[in-house]
Chains A and B, each alone.
Chain A
């Protein structure tokens, strides 16, 4: 069964610093996708970045990058030059490439950016 673990319940970072949010996963499927979503206090789920299990390079989307270490089964999100608007809950999720491909989410990390 798929499992996502986010071990940091909360993170506090100074504005403009980089921050890494940890995510480890467990799956027996050789083909899968990893996602990060942001959930601000308003509640919506905003897609940030995707990494496929066969992708050779780490994914990047603007200030977001994904540090994908397949052997360690980790998919950490790196936010560069953090901004006050980055304060939110961040969820790591995985989808196996079989069946209906539901997302399995981690418990989330609450990121607070201090001015």
Chain B
């Protein structure tokens, strides 16, 4: 069964460093998302991406964040200068289409980011 994959599974970085989190969505999916979950808290929406552009972003997704689909398979989240509060689990999700609202978003296993 197709699945969303994410690399790395864990990342430790120093404050101020840049990190790139990678995702490979399910191959016939067209809509891509990043969410984050700070330890012990709920999952929060960061950004959605369709047709090579951002379709919606949250207040969390400030100028330090960017997303890119560099080729036909990868979808990346870059944090330009990490802060301590960026420590969280980051989930990538994808869905085939959004017409009617019934399409399920399938999540990757997550990347656990720790900023020291």
Residue numbers of A with Cβ under 8 A of B are: 31-33, 35, 37, 42-47, 50, 52-53, 91, 93, 95-97, 99-108
The interface size bin for chain B is: 20 to 34
B42 touches A91 (CB 8 A): yes
A102/B56 in contact, CB under 8 A: yes
B17: interface (CB < 8 Å):
no
Closest A-B pairs by Cβ, 7 of them: A97-B101, A100-B48, A45-B107, A100-B56, A100-B55, A102-B45, A105-B43
B33 at the interface (CB under 8 A from A): yes
Q: For B101, give the chain A residue with the smallest CB separation.
A: A97
Contact between B106 and A33, CB atoms less than 8 A apart: no
Would you call B42 and A106 a contact (CB within 8 A)?
Answer: yes
Interface of B is mostly: strand
Whether A44 lies near B104 (C-beta < 8 A) is: no
How far is A37 from B91 in the complex, measured between Cα atoms in Å? Answer: 13
Cα(A38)–Cα(B48), bound, Å: 22
* A52 with B102: CB separation less than 8 A: yes
Contact B42 A100 (CB under 8 A): no
Q: With a 10 A CB-CB cut-off, give which of A42, A43, A106, A108 has the most chain B CB atoms.
A: A43
B109 and A44 form a contact (CB under 8 A) = yes
Please tell me if B22 contacts chain A, counting CB pairs below 8 Å.
Answer: no
Tell me how far the C-beta of B77 lies from the nearest C-beta in chain A, rounded to whole angstroms: 15
Can you name the residue of chain A whose Cβ is closest to the Cβ of B100?
A: A97
Known: A45-B43, A100-B56. 9 other contacts (CB 8 A): A44-B107, A95-B105, A97-B98, A99-B55, A100-B33, A101-B95, A103-B105, A104-B45, A105-B43
Q: Does B25 contact A (CB under 8 A)?
A: no
19 contacts between A and B (CB under 8 A): A31-B101, A35-B104, A37-B107, A43-B112, A44-B108, A44-B109, A45-B93, A47-B104, A47-B105, A53-B101, A100-B56, A101-B31, A102-B56, A103-B33, A103-B43, A104-B45, A105-B43, A107-B41, A108-B42
